[in-house]
Amino acid sequence: MTELVIRALTEGDAHLFNTLEDPALVGRGRFGHTYRTRAEGGEYRPDWTWVALRDGRVVARAAWWGVADATEPTALDWFDFAEGEADAAAELLRTAPLRAEFSLLAPPGWRERPEERAAAQARIDAAVAGGMELLVERYRYEWTPECGLPERQGRLEFRPEPDDAVIADVLRRVMPGTLDAHDLRAIAQGGVGAAVGELMDFLNWCPSPREWWRLAWTPEGELVGIQVPAHNPTGPCVGYIGVVEGQRGHGYAYDLLVECTHDLVERGATKIAAATDQPNLPMARHFAKAGYPITQERIDLV
C-alpha cells in the first residue's frame, strides 16, 4: 500500500474535501449538511480541515468547527473515510493537532438497519483507535407547531435572575444526582465547581440574551430549578433544564420544559431543538409527553 500523506487543506485545495466518496448513511451528510469554507459562505476553516491522501486521493477526512473568532475548535463535525481505510482515519486523528468532541449523527433506530449500523460502528471504532473514547449516546429532538404546544402546568412561578453567582449556586444544587454524562465527566475531572463552570460557559456562549434565563419556584417560595430558553448558532433550542436536589420526583422537569417551549414560541420560534442522554429515561419521557419527536440519534466521543 502506498505511503499516506496527512495534512491540512488550504483555501486553494479545500475542494478536495468533497472528493471522498461517502454514501452518507450516517454523519452530517445524512442530514443534508454540506462542507464549505468561510470564504465560500460556509462554516469551516481550511486549516481546521485535515485529510489523509493516498496517491493524491482523499481516503479519510476530518473537519473541526468553531465560531468565527474562536482560537480552538468547539467540535469535530465531519469524520469519514473510504472503505478499508479505517487505519488511515485513525492516524489522521492522531496526527492532526486539533482536539474537540465528536458527535456522530445517525438516524433514529440506526442499529436496526445493518448498513447504517456498520457505518456508524466503523466510525466509532476508528475514532477510538485515533485516541477518543465513547462518552454517551443521545437523542436529538425538534419541536414544530405541528407537534402541538404543550399546556402550561401552572404549578410553578418563573422569575429572571440577573446575578450569575445565584445562578451558579442553583446549578450546584442541581448537580448532585445528575444523569447527564457530560456533567458527570466534568465532576469526575474537576469537581462540582468545574461542572458548573463548564455549564455556565456553554450557556453564556449561546448567542441568545442572558435575560431569558428563568428560575422556577413553588407558590410557597421554594426553589425548584432553572430553565434556559436559548439560541445556539443554528436556531432556537432548549438550552438547559435542571431541578435541584430535594425537588425531584414531582415531575417538575416537565413543567420547566413546557415553560421553556412557551418562552421560545412567544419569541417567534417555529422550530426548537433539544437533546438528552439516552440513559436519562425521565427526561426522555418528558420530551415525549411534551410532543418533541426524536429526529436524530447522536453518539458523543471525547
83 in the same domain as 36: yes
Q: Are strands 214-217 and 157-160 parallel, antiparallel or unpaired?
A: antiparallel
Residue 1 has pLDDT above 80, yes or no: no
Tell me the mean pLDDT in the region 200-212.
96
pTM of model > 0.75? yes
pLDDT tens-digit map of 58-90: 999 999 999 888 999 999 999 999 999 999 999
Q: Please count the residues of the chain.
A: 302
Q: Is residue 188 part of a domain?
A: yes
* 299 domain-assigned: no
**What's the pLDDT tens digit per position in 111-164?**
999 999 999 999 999 999 999 999 999 999 999 999 999 999 999 999 999 999
Quote the domain boundaries for residue 27: 4-132
Number of domains in the chain: 2
Angle at Cα 143 formed by Cα 137 and Cα 146, nearest 5°? 140
CATH number at residue 176: 3.40.630.30
> Residue 123's domain is classified under what CATH number?
3.40.630
> Do 14 and 112 belong together in one domain?
yes
139 assigned to some structural domain = no
pLDDT digit string, tens, across residues 261-291:
999 999 999 999 999 999 999 999 999 999 9
